[in-house]
Structure 1
Amino acid sequence: MRLFGRVRACSAALRALIAAGALIASGAGARAEDGVGHPVPGQIGFQVGVTDIARDIHGFYDNLLFPIITVISLFVMVLIGICMVRFNERANPVPSKTTHNALLEVAWTIVPVLILVVIAIPSFRLLTKQLELPKPDITIKATGKQWYWSYDYPKDQDGGFNFDSARVEEKDAKTVPDFINLLSVDNEAVVPVNKNIQVNVTGADVIHGFIVQSLGVRIDAVPGRLNSTWFRADREGIYYGQCSKLCGKDHAYMPIAIRVVSQPAYEAWLQDAKKKYAQTGQPQRFADASSALAGVAATTDQR
């Protein structure tokens, strides 16, 4: 009777735990929905996906990885509990001298292999979907620099300009509508909704990481190498990401901001951008030292 009582108590506790988890998950989902495109305080789980790939990634985790992790964790906890109760010194004053068990060894070899196969098959399908680039409607180039991003829009797609995108500091929050600390930037990359967007990513100095969670995009920005990724957003809005590689002292202050707009709004932005970011080039983010060096040289000659 005592054993059945313990079983009922454990069952009730497990049901309460599952209910609490469901409540937390629903609340986290609501908070994530409130902050589409960026994280929100207290959020658990992924940001809301606005591409098929992002939703597939979320489904892969929620419907496969997380249940497997949960079952394995509970199984290990139960085994530890059994070992603590049945194989302590008081319960077993004379310890067992068993050295191996062929059946158990086969089981704990085959079962993990089967679990990995179950994970690998949908994982490879998802990776293939991510890495097979469809014909792009728009192609842009993103270059990671310490510690900001530069975007190039090619001339053959009605572009022919480039610009830098850097974090807006908190003291300048009033210059940006809907300011989000550590995420808002001075110049956002803009793309049209429901279009295949190819992003060619590279680094100018060290390795950076280009990741925008809501778009299901993550790829390395490696100096001297061009890596390509893509997305097709089906919802307008602004979607934030951050550099995901340790790239120096300001790694944490290197946000990514991509604004998805309607086709007419995108075309209007292109015309404005071509005027704002002339082909002659953007003002350099670092001061040109040539004039200062020339002055120093002249002073030295006079001496």
Structure 2
Amino acid sequence: MAAWTQMKFQDPASYIMMKLIGLSDYALAIVVVVVLFCGGSILSLYRNGFLFTYLYEAQLIETIWTIVPGLILASLAVPSVNLLYYMDELMSPSVTIKAIAHQWYWSYEYSDKFKVGFDSYLKPLMGMKTGEFRLLEVDNRIVVPLKVSTRFLVTSTDVIHAWAMPSLGLKVDAVPGRLNQLGLEVFRTGVYYGQCSEICGANHSFMPVGLECIPFKMWTKWLWLNFL
């Protein structure tokens, strides 16, 4: 999760988030090069006392400063579109979890094979333990297996919400009467936090998302001990 004075993205725990950070770094590098080049050119022209006032056209220069920015934009567009399709691609998920938004809590169902469901509420301040995070802890976390392709189906029963998990690079709207799908494969065990990211009413700020990733054998044991 985010740390105090942190200026970057959260540490990635999914392949999607790794690719998002890579694209962000690539775009930022291009921005830095363009700013330095343009700033240096402007400064050089400003400090240079030599001016040529009889230049009416320069087709070569105009061609260059049209083609080069176009190539730069294309170099940004290609990986962006590639990542967009990668995020929507879902190849034979092994686990399906349904996330249902309510005002102001979440319900989860492992409905593909196990017919298991539970509600997840904000953990009250009086029930929190040392080391837990205020406004982020929940009474029942989603538990997903490590390095297993997982599909999330997200919907809502009342207003529009958004299920978001920054460290996993996930955000999807929960719309009443509609199922939105996203794929996930977590490569690092741990506990991850998110929140509803769509203004949904008075208690919007008190609608966190808690997710825990554990090895597959421990995950099946957790299912049997708690629900089966």
TM-score category of the 2 structures, normalised to the smaller one = 0.7 to 0.9
Q: Structure 1 pair 100/206, CA: closer, same or farther in 2 (3 Å)?
A: farther
Query: Larger C-alpha radius of gyration, 1 or 2?
Result: 1
The alignment's TM-score, normalised by the length of structure 1, stands at: 0.66
How many residues are aligned here?
228
Q: Structure 1 pair 211/100, CA: closer, same or farther in 2 (3 Å)?
A: farther
Q: Which residue does the alignment assign to 1:213? A: 166
Q: Structure 1 pair 146/103, CA: closer, same or farther in 2 (3 Å)?
A: farther
2:147 to 194, 204, 208: 194
Q: Which residue does the alignment assign to 1:11? A: none
Instruction: List per-residue Cα deviations over 1:207-262 (Å, max 9, x = no partner).
Output: 22222122232222222211111111122111112222233333333221111112
Q: Structure 1 pair 128/171, CA: closer, same or farther in 2 (3 Å)?
A: same
Q: Which residue does the alignment assign to 1:142? A: 99
Question: For 1:247 and 1:103, how far apart are their aligned partners in 2?
Answer: 55
Q: Which residue does the alignment assign to 2:128? A: 173
Question: For 2:131 and 2:2, how far apart are their aligned partners in 1?
Answer: 14
Cα deviation, residue 140, structure 1: 0.5
The within-5 A match list for 1:32-51 is 38-51=1-14
Q: Which residue does the alignment assign to 1:7? A: none
The within-5 A match list for 1:145-294 is 145-154=102-111, 156-158=112-114, 160-174=115-129, 178-274=131-227
Q: Structure 1 pair 203/73, CA: closer, same or farther in 2 (3 Å)?
A: farther
RMSD of aligned alpha carbons: 2.7
Cα deviation, residue 186, structure 1: 1.2
Q: Which residue does the alignment assign to 1:77? A: 39
CA contact (8 A) 1:216 1:231 kept: no
What stretches of structure 2 of length at least 5 have no aligned partner? none
The alignment's TM-score, normalised by the length of structure 2, stands at: 0.85
* Relative contact order, higher structure (CA 8 A, sep 6+): 2
Q: Structure 1 pair 220/112, CA: closer, same or farther in 2 (3 Å)?
A: farther
Question: For 2:56 and 2:100, how far apart are their aligned partners in 1?
Answer: 58
Question: For 2:42 and 2:204, how far apart are their aligned partners in 1?
Answer: 41
2:10 is the alignment partner of 1:57: no
Partner SS state of residue 157, structure 1: coil
Instruction: List per-residue Cα deviations over 1:88-140 (Å, max 9, x = no partner).
Output: xxx79xxx798876555544433332112101112222222211111111100
**Relative to total residues, which structure has the larger strand share, 1 or 2?**
2
The within-5 A match list for 1:88-107 is 105-107=62-64
Task: Tell me which amino acid in the other structure corresponds to 1:239.
Answer: Y
Question: For 2:59 and 2:144, how far apart are their aligned partners in 1?
Answer: 59
Partner SS state of residue 13, structure 2: coil
What stretches of structure 1 of length at least 5 have no aligned partner? 1-37, 276-303
Partner SS state of residue 42, structure 1: coil
Identity rate, percent: 38
